């Protein structure tokens, strides 16, 4: 019986670890009420499951933030498309292939989160697509092999 439990635990451990990469738990926050993230670079492994939590540390009730991972070179066009998408869509152009992952909008003092699979090895920009924020509210997700 003891041996059976050991086998079950071993199998469960392997399942939890997936292909040995596990889930990357990432946290990012706003710098108070400024249009900036507190982290300008995040690193994960390609194919890894990523769980990112965005915390809005601001107090302004009119300024919300999100976290949008985009294909390199598409920061500007996604930011423009986001305005057309509007607040009801969390300022995320749904169905746009250049959006790789996105959280919903986080109001002051709140969090929003997303779980996604890390893309191929490379460097991917992340931006806040709340109107006017993407020029300064940005960073890079580095995906390693």
Scanning 47-55, 83-91, 116-124, 133-141 for contacts with Cu ion by CB under 5 A, the matching segment is 133-141
Scanning 6-14, 68-76, 84-92, 127-135 for contacts with Cu ion by CB under 5 A, the matching segment is 127-135
**43 is written with which tokens?**
């690193």
Tell me whether residue 42 or residue 48 sits nearer to Cu ion (CB atom). Answer: 42
Residue 138 touching Cu ion (CB under 5 A): no
CA-to-CA dists, residue 130 to 17, 67, 93, 112, 137, angstroms: 35, 9, 12, 14, 9
Residue 100 touching Cu ion (CB under 5 A): no
Scanning the structure block, which residue is given the tokens 């050991």? 6
The CB-of-98 to Cu ion minimum distance in angstroms stands at 19
The CB-of-96 to Cu ion minimum distance in angstroms stands at 18
Residue 29 touching Cu ion (CB under 5 A): no
CA-to-CA dists, residue 12 to 5, 7, 15, 71, angstroms: 10, 9, 5, 35
| Strands 49-55 and 23-29, sheet pairing | parallel
Tell me whether residue 21 or residue 57 sits nearer to Cu ion (CB atom). Answer: 57
CB 100 within 8 A of CB 71: yes
Residue 92 touching Cu ion (CB under 5 A): no
Applying CB under 5 A, which residues contact Cu ion? 65, 128, 130, 133, 137
């Amino acid at each position: 019986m003891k041996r059976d439990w050991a086998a079950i635990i071993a199998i469960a451990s392997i399942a939890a670890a997936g292909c040995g990469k596990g889930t990357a738990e990432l946290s990012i926050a706003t710098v108070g009420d400024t249009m900036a993230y507190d982290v300008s670079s995040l690193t994960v492994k390609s194919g890894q499951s990523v769980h990112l939590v965005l915390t809005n540390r601001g107090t302004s009730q009119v300024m919300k933030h999100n976290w949008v991972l985009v294909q390199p070179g598409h920061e500007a066009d996604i930011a423009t498309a986001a305005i057309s998408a509007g607040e009801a869509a969390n300022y995320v152009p749904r169905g746009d292939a250049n959006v790789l992952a996105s959280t919903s909008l986080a109001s002051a003092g709140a969090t929003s989160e997303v779980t996604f699979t890390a893309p191929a090895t490379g460097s991917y920009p992340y931006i806040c697509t709340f109107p006017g924020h993407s020029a300064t509210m940005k960073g890079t997700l580095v995906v390693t092999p």
